Structure 1
Amino acid sequence: MTLPPADSSLGRLMTRLPRTGRVEWIGLRPARNVSMRSVDRVEARAGGGLAGDRYAGGSGKRGITLIQAEHLPAIAALAGHASVSPEILRRNLVVSGIPLIALKGLRLRIGGLVLEGTEACDPCSRMEDALDPGGYNAMCGMGGLCARIVEGGVLALGGAVEALAPHHGDENG
């Protein structure tokens, strides 16, 4: 994603966020077709993924997936459920207080980690089983964000999630 010039009106709007977010939940998928496992902390590897996750040695573009805590009640309501637990949505992090999709193409810091939002994390066909028929569409537009791990470290519950100044001079502008 090419960002507009940082000194343009649109550039300033796109990089101004209302507040810092917070990590509310961390989950790992140890293998294909296995339930997610909730953890309090995990090592994140630059250019890869989370230790113990099925995609730990992945391509990097989708090294970690995030979903917005504020979207969970909306997904549940649209799917006809009283609530939805993070485990069934198959994302690594549940984050509150910051609009994740606004971080697409930007870098963010969580504790010592630096991530780069690469693309929207669209729902997969497994949401039909997880949320019942129509689950895929209940989640459309609220699937979260895929991110590349730029600088690794330990990721822990309660960590602050903050947008960083635009990183100009690379493939993102």
Structure 2
Amino acid sequence: MAAPNPDSALAALLGKLPRAGTVRWIGVRHARGRAMRELDSVEAIAGRGLVGDRYASASGKRGVTLIQSEHLPVIAALSGHAEVAPALLRRNVVVSRLPLVALKGRRFRIGGVVLEGTGDCDPCARMEEALGPGGYNAMRGHGGLCARIVEGGHFAVGDSLQALEVVA
């Protein structure tokens, strides 16, 4: 979606968020096929990723992956589970109280880290293994957000997620 005219009514609506978000869970995975390791806090390296995560060794738009806690019960229901643990979905950060889709193309701060939402975090074929048959489709539209790390630092469970400026 192209950015709307900054003076338009749509731009004004897209710029309003109901409240700050809150970090509920953090996890990293040091190698492909390994289980996620839950953390209380993490260091983020600008232009890279989270210390201890396999994606920290490469640069790109997927330095951090985020998912909304409010989507976890939906994914569970759609995949036929009573609940779904965050580690099963292989995202780095679970956030509540803020619609992550509103952070696409926008910078935001978590603790001492500035990130930029780069796009949807679409599910992969591994969701069939993790959630069972239909797991991929259960996650479609609920996979979360990929972000690049603009300014490194630390953040922790309980930290606030604050939206910053829209990136042109």
- TM-score with structure 2 setting the length: 0.97
Instruction: In structure 2, list runs of 5 or more residues that go unmatched.
Output: none
Letter in 2 for 1:115: L
Count of matched residue positions in the alignment of Structure 1 and Structure 2:
168
Q: How does 1:18-37 map to 2 (within 5 A)?
A: 18-37=18-37
Q: How does 1:96-111 map to 2 (within 5 A)?
A: 96-111=96-111
- TM-score with structure 1 setting the length: 0.94
Q: For residue 148 of structure 2, what is the aligned residue in structure 1?
A: 148
Would you say 1:48 and 2:40 are equivalent positions? no
Distance in structure 2 (CA, Å) of the matches to 1:15 and 1:156: 26
Question: Deviations 1:120-152 (Å, cap 9, x if unpaired)?
Answer: 000000000100000000000000000000011
Task: Give the root-mean-square deviation of aligned CA atoms.
Answer: 1.0
Which secondary structure does the structure 2 equivalent of 1:147 belong to?
strand
Using the TM superposition, give the Cα deviation of residue 111 of structure 1 relative to its aligned residue in structure 2, in angstroms.
1.2
Asked if structure 2 preserves the Cα contact closer than 8 Å seen for 1:6 and 1:166, the reply is: no
Q: For residue 165 of structure 1, what is the aligned residue in structure 2?
A: 165
Q: For residue 62 of structure 1, what is the aligned residue in structure 2?
A: 62
Using the TM superposition, give the Cα deviation of residue 2 of structure 1 relative to its aligned residue in structure 2, in angstroms.
4.4
Using the TM superposition, give the Cα deviation of residue 40 of structure 1 relative to its aligned residue in structure 2, in angstroms.
0.4
Using the TM superposition, give the Cα deviation of residue 97 of structure 1 relative to its aligned residue in structure 2, in angstroms.
0.4
Q: For residue 6 of structure 1, what is the aligned residue in structure 2?
A: 6
Using the TM superposition, give the Cα deviation of residue 7 of structure 1 relative to its aligned residue in structure 2, in angstroms.
2.5
Letter in 2 for 1:41: S
Asked if structure 2 preserves the Cα contact closer than 8 Å seen for 1:2 and 1:105, the reply is: no
Q: For residue 83 of structure 2, what is the aligned residue in structure 1?
A: 83
Letter in 2 for 1:127: M
Moved more, 117-126 or 4-13: 4-13
Which secondary structure does the structure 2 equivalent of 1:55 belong to?
helix
Q: For residue 170 of structure 1, what is the aligned residue in structure 2?
A: none
Distance in structure 1 (CA, Å) of the matches to 2:2 and 2:117: 12
Q: How does 1:118-133 map to 2 (within 5 A)?
A: 118-133=118-133
Distance in structure 1 (CA, Å) of the matches to 2:94 and 2:45: 19
Distance in structure 2 (CA, Å) of the matches to 1:156 and 1:103: 19
